[in-house]
Chain A
C-alpha cells in the first residue's frame, strides 16, 4: 500500500495497547500492522510485516524492550523504533536510544500526538529533552579512553552546539533560530546524535565484554 507506513505497537498493558493501536489506525497515512503484548508476539508480527515504525514499551513480560529493539533493528536496520514511556525520563529514554531507538513518546499522548510523533520520526527527526541532552554531552563529548571512542561515535561541533542548547532548555525552533538552520535540521542532528550514542554503546558493550573476558580479544584471536 503505497504512501502509508506500517506501524507495529508493542505494549503489554491492554488498554494502552488498544488506545495506541486506535491512534495509529485513525491516521490515514499510517497502517497498523499489529499490536503485540510481548516480545514473542512482536517477533512474529515483525517478521511477518516488516513495519517501518515500531512503538515499543521497555518493560515487557517476557523480556526487555531494549533488547528487543537491538534484536529487531539488527534484522531490519531501516526500521525506526519509538519507545513509549510514562514520563520521558532520561533513564528510560537513554536506555532505548542506546538500544537503537530514535524517538520517544509519552504513553498518555493524544491520538493526534501519536500520529504526529510517528510522522516526525519517519521524516527523520527525533525529540530530545534537556536531561537526555546533558547525558549525551557528558557521554559523547569527552571520551574517557581514546580506545573506546570510535570516530563515528564522536560529536561534530554543530551537534555539540545543538546538545548544549537543548540541555539549557531551548526548543527546536529557538535552536534553529540561534544556529540559523531549520527546525527539521535540528531534529535530524538529534537523530544523528542518537545514532552515535547507539554506535558508541555497542562499542562500549564490546569493550566491556572484552574486559570481562566474555569475548576473546579480537587482536590476539585466542580465547581467554
Chain B
C-alpha cells in the first residue's frame, strides 16, 4: 500500500471517529434556546444528600410553567416553595443508563408566588463525581415538553432500542454457539453483547440491592464487557497466543476479585470515592488492548477489516474517556454519561465481521461439500467402471480358459486328425487335390475360429496377425509377394467378435482364391477405415491381385471360386462385396458398415 493511500486511510479513520463522537455530542446539545430561562443552582452538600436551590420570579404568562432538567443522576426529590412536586428513585452511581435521565416537572400555578419562588432539588446521595445535575431550564411547559421528549428518546428509548438490538444479536450468536461449541468466538460475542446490555439495563430496573452492591455489580459487568469485547476483537483480528489468553484470564479474575474485595472491605463512602479509579482502570485495560492489538493490526495490514475494527474501538475508547473525565470531575456533567452511545459501533463492526466469518465458513463448507459430492460421484463412477472391467475380465478369463481347453481338445482331436489326413494325402502324392484343399480349408477355418475367439486380442490388427503370417507363407510357397497394408486402420481399431470371424474368413478366402487361381505375382490386402458418402463410418477391405483376372463370365457364375460364399458372408455383415477388374488382375472390394 502506498504512503498516499495510507495517509488517506488514516484521514478517513479520523474522520469516522470524529463523525461518531460529533454525532453523540450534537445529540446531547439539542437543548432549548431563548424560549426558556436557564436555572442557576446553588449546590449544598448535606450529609448523605446534595441540595440544589434556586430562586426565580414567575413569568407573567398565563401558560403552564415547567422545570426541565436535561440530565440528573440518582434519586431525586423536586419541591417548589416547600411543596414536593416530583420524586424519582435510582440507586446507581456508576455511569449507566439510569444514572442520567432528563426530568420535566410542571410547576402548578397554584403553588407559584407572584414574587420570588424557591426551587429545591434534593439528590439522595452524597456528593461525588458521579452525582450531578445537568443544564436546567424554566419556561412554558409547551415549549419545554418537546425538548424533554427528544431527550427522553435519546437517553431512554434509544438506549432501550440499542439494548434490545444487542440482546437479539446475543441470542443469535448464542444459537450458533450452542450448535457449534468448538467455535468459541460466538461465545465471546454472546458475552460481549450480554454484559454490555446488562450493564446499561441494570439500573433501569434495579434489584433491591444496596447501592454499593449495585455499583459493584455494574463495575463487574463493565469489566467483563471490556475484556470480552477486547478478546473478541483479538480473536477476529489475529490468532491469540496462549500467553495472551493467560493474561486475559488474569485481568478478568484479578479485576473481579479487586472489585469484590473493595466492595466487601470498604464503606459505601470509601467505595464511592474509589469508583472513578476502578472505572478508569478498566478503561485503561481497554485502551491498552486497543493500542497493542488494533492499532498494530491497522499499521501492519492497512486493510478494511483493521480499519473498521480500529475505528469502532476508538469510538468506544474516546467515549469511555469522556465518561472517565466526567467521573473524575474534569468536565461539566451537563449531558451525563455517553458510554452506551459508543458501544454500538464496535458491536456492529464485530458482529459484521463475525457474520462475514460465518458466511465464508458456510461458503467454504458448501464448496467443500460440492467438491466432496463430485469426488464421491467420480469415485462411484470409477468403482462402477472397475466393476465392469472386473466383470469383463472375469468373462474374458472364462472365455480364455474355455478357449484354452478348446485348443487342447482340438490340438489332440480334430486339429490333429486334419493334420494327419493332410500329411497322409501329401505323402501319397495327393497334396494338391481338391480333397486336400478341402481338408486344408477346414483346418484353416478352424484356426480362424480360434483366432477370432481370443478375448484378449481386441484390436483387429492383432487378430489378423496369425492369418497374415499364414497367408505370407502361402504366398511365399506360391512365389508371390504379399503386401498387407493396415497403415490406415489404427492400432486400437476393434470389431465385434461376431463380425471378426466373418471378416477373417472373407479375407482368407479372397486371398486364397487369388493364390490358387489368379496366377498372380503380387497380392495386396488393404484394410482401411473410411467415411461413406453419407458420413457413416465404414471399413473398406481391398484384396488386389495382379493375376489373370476373373473369367468373363465369372460374375455370372458365382460359386466357381467360392464367390457365392463370399457374398453370403458379406451379407451377414450387412456389407457389400464386389469384384472389380484391375489392369491386370482383380480387386475384391468389401465395404462394411461400422
Stretch at the interface among A84-92, A155-163, A196-204, A205-213: A84-92
Nearest CB on A from B144, distance (A): 100
CA distance A169 to B412 in the complex (A): 27
- Asked whether, in the complex, the Cβ of B411 is within 8 Å of the Cβ of A131, the reply is no
- The proximity string for A residues 87-125 relative to B, scoring 1 for CB distances below 8 Å and 0 otherwise, is 111011000000000000011111011001000000000
- Asked whether, in the complex, the Cβ of A16 is within 8 Å of the Cβ of B407, the reply is no
Q: Which of B426, B464, B476 is the most central at the interface, judged by chain A CB atoms within 10 Å of its CB?
A: B426
- Asked whether, in the complex, the Cβ of B457 is within 8 Å of the Cβ of A87, the reply is no
CA distance A92 to B407 in the complex (A): 9
Residue of A nearest to B411 (CB): A86
Which residues of A are found within 8 Å of B408, using beta-carbon distances? 91
Nearest CB on B from A10, distance (A): 15
Q: Known contacts A87-B407, A112-B476; is A129 also within 8 Å of B465 by CB?
A: yes
- Asked whether, in the complex, the Cβ of A113 is within 8 Å of the Cβ of B476, the reply is yes
Interface size of A in residues (CB-CB distance below 8 Å): 33
- Asked whether, in the complex, the Cβ of B424 is within 8 Å of the Cβ of A15, the reply is yes
Q: Which of A59, A85, A112, A170 contacts B461 (CB 8 A)?
A: A170
Which residues of A are found within 8 Å of B415, using beta-carbon distances? 86-87
Q: Known contacts A108-B422, A113-B477; is A169 also within 8 Å of B459 by CB?
A: yes
CA distance A169 to B469 in the complex (A): 10
- Asked whether, in the complex, the Cβ of B416 is within 8 Å of the Cβ of A13, the reply is yes
- Asked whether, in the complex, the Cβ of A15 is within 8 Å of the Cβ of B461, the reply is no
Nearest CB on B from A23, distance (A): 9
CA distance A29 to B424 in the complex (A): 25
Q: Known contacts A86-B419, A87-B450, A92-B411; is A108 also within 8 Å of B443 by CB?
A: yes
Residue of A nearest to B474 (CB): A110
- The proximity string for B residues 396-434 relative to A, scoring 1 for CB distances below 8 Å and 0 otherwise, is 000000001001101110011011101110110000000
Which residues of A are found within 8 Å of B422, using beta-carbon distances? 108
Nearest CB on A from B85, distance (A): 106
Which residues of B are found within 8 Å of A19, using beta-carbon distances? 423, 426-427
Main secondary structure on B side of the interface with A: helix
- The proximity string for A residues 1-38 relative to B, scoring 1 for CB distances below 8 Å and 0 otherwise, is 00000000000010110110010000000000000000
- Asked whether, in the complex, the Cβ of A86 is within 8 Å of the Cβ of B469, the reply is no
- Asked whether, in the complex, the Cβ of B411 is within 8 Å of the Cβ of A87, the reply is yes
- Asked whether, in the complex, the Cβ of A110 is within 8 Å of the Cβ of B473, the reply is yes
Nearest CB on A from B529, distance (A): 15
Which residues of B are found within 8 Å of A88, using beta-carbon distances? 466
CA distance A201 to B434 in the complex (A): 45
Residue A139, interface by CB 8 Å: no
Q: Known contacts A167-B462, A170-B461; is A116 also within 8 Å of B476 by CB?
A: yes
Residue B77, interface by CB 8 Å: no
Which residues of A are found within 8 Å of B427, using beta-carbon distances? 15, 18-19, 22
Q: Known contacts A110-B473, A131-B456, A169-B464; is A87 also within 8 Å of B447 by CB?
A: yes
Residue B491, interface by CB 8 Å: yes
- Residues of A117-165 at the interface with B, using a CB-CB cut-off of 8 Å, are 127, 129-131, 134
CA distance A117 to B395 in the complex (A): 37
Q: Which of A85, A106, A169 is the most central at the interface, judged by chain B CB atoms within 10 Å of its CB?
A: A169
Residue A60, interface by CB 8 Å: no
Nearest CB on B from A174, distance (A): 8
CA distance A107 to B440 in the complex (A): 12
- Residues of A160-194 at the interface with B, using a CB-CB cut-off of 8 Å, are 166-171
Q: Which of A59, A87, A129, A167 contacts B469 (CB 8 A)?
A: A129
CA distance A168 to B424 in the complex (A): 37
CA distance A17 to B410 in the complex (A): 19
Nearest CB on B from A177, distance (A): 10
CA distance A113 to B478 in the complex (A): 11
- Asked whether, in the complex, the Cβ of A131 is within 8 Å of the Cβ of B457, the reply is yes
- Asked whether, in the complex, the Cβ of B407 is within 8 Å of the Cβ of A91, the reply is yes
CA distance A16 to B423 in the complex (A): 5
Nearest CB on A from B315, distance (A): 72
CA distance A134 to B427 in the complex (A): 37
- The proximity string for B residues 340-374 relative to A, scoring 1 for CB distances below 8 Å and 0 otherwise, is 00000000000000000000000000000000000
Residue of A nearest to B463 (CB): A169
- The proximity string for B residues 530-551 relative to A, scoring 1 for CB distances below 8 Å and 0 otherwise, is 0000000000000000000000
Nearest CB on A from B94, distance (A): 82
CA distance A130 to B420 in the complex (A): 27
Residue B484, interface by CB 8 Å: yes
Residue B149, interface by CB 8 Å: no
- The proximity string for B residues 460-492 relative to A, scoring 1 for CB distances below 8 Å and 0 otherwise, is 111111101110110011000000101000010
Residue of A nearest to B403 (CB): A89
Residue B150, interface by CB 8 Å: no
Q: Known contacts A87-B415, A168-B491; is A18 also within 8 Å of B423 by CB?
A: yes
- Asked whether, in the complex, the Cβ of A108 is within 8 Å of the Cβ of B440, the reply is yes
- Asked whether, in the complex, the Cβ of B464 is within 8 Å of the Cβ of A89, the reply is no
CA distance A6 to B107 in the complex (A): 147
Residue of A nearest to B428 (CB): A15
Residue of A nearest to B446 (CB): A87
Which residues of B are found within 8 Å of A22, using beta-carbon distances? 427
Q: Which of B424, B457, B473 contacts A130 (CB 8 A)?
A: B457
- The proximity string for A residues 41-63 relative to B, scoring 1 for CB distances below 8 Å and 0 otherwise, is 00000000000000000010000
Which residues of A are found within 8 Å of B412, using beta-carbon distances? 59
Which residues of A are found within 8 Å of B450, using beta-carbon distances? 87, 89
Which residues of B are found within 8 Å of A89, using beta-carbon distances? 404, 407, 411, 450
Nearest CB on A from B135, distance (A): 96
Q: Which of A13, A86, A108, A169 contacts B462 (CB 8 A)?
A: A169
Nearest CB on B from A74, distance (A): 27
Nearest CB on B from A121, distance (A): 15
Residue of A nearest to B416 (CB): A86
Nearest CB on A from B421, distance (A): 8
Residue B454, interface by CB 8 Å: yes
- Asked whether, in the complex, the Cβ of B454 is within 8 Å of the Cβ of A131, the reply is yes
CA distance A127 to B465 in the complex (A): 12
- Asked whether, in the complex, the Cβ of B473 is within 8 Å of the Cβ of A169, the reply is no
Nearest CB on A from B46, distance (A): 105
- Asked whether, in the complex, the Cβ of B465 is within 8 Å of the Cβ of A16, the reply is no
Nearest CB on A from B412, distance (A): 7
- Asked whether, in the complex, the Cβ of B465 is within 8 Å of the Cβ of A169, the reply is yes
CA distance A149 to B335 in the complex (A): 95
CA distance A130 to B423 in the complex (A): 28
Residue of A nearest to B426 (CB): A19
CA distance A208 to B394 in the complex (A): 27
Nearest CB on B from A172, distance (A): 10
Which residues of B are found within 8 Å of A87, using beta-carbon distances? 407, 410-411, 415, 447, 450
Which residues of B are found within 8 Å of A18, using beta-carbon distances? 423, 427
CA distance A129 to B470 in the complex (A): 11
Residue of B nearest to A164 (CB): B491
Residue of B nearest to A84 (CB): B419
- Asked whether, in the complex, the Cβ of B468 is within 8 Å of the Cβ of A171, the reply is yes
Residues of chain B touching chain A, judged by Cβ–Cβ distance below 8 Å, are 404, 407-408, 410-412, 415-416, 418-420, 422-424, 426-427, 440, 443, 447, 450, 454, 456-457, 459-466, 468-470, 472-473, 476-477, 484, 486, 491
A-B contact pairs, 10 of them (CB 8 A): A22-B427, A86-B410, A91-B407, A107-B423, A108-B443, A116-B473, A127-B469, A129-B465, A168-B461, A168-B462
Further contacts, 5 of them, CB under 8 A, given A13-B420, A113-B476: A16-B423, A87-B450, A107-B419, A108-B440, A169-B491
The 9 A-B pairs of least Cβ separation, nearest first, read: A169-B461, A169-B462, A15-B423, A86-B415, A19-B423, A130-B462, A169-B465, A16-B423, A15-B424
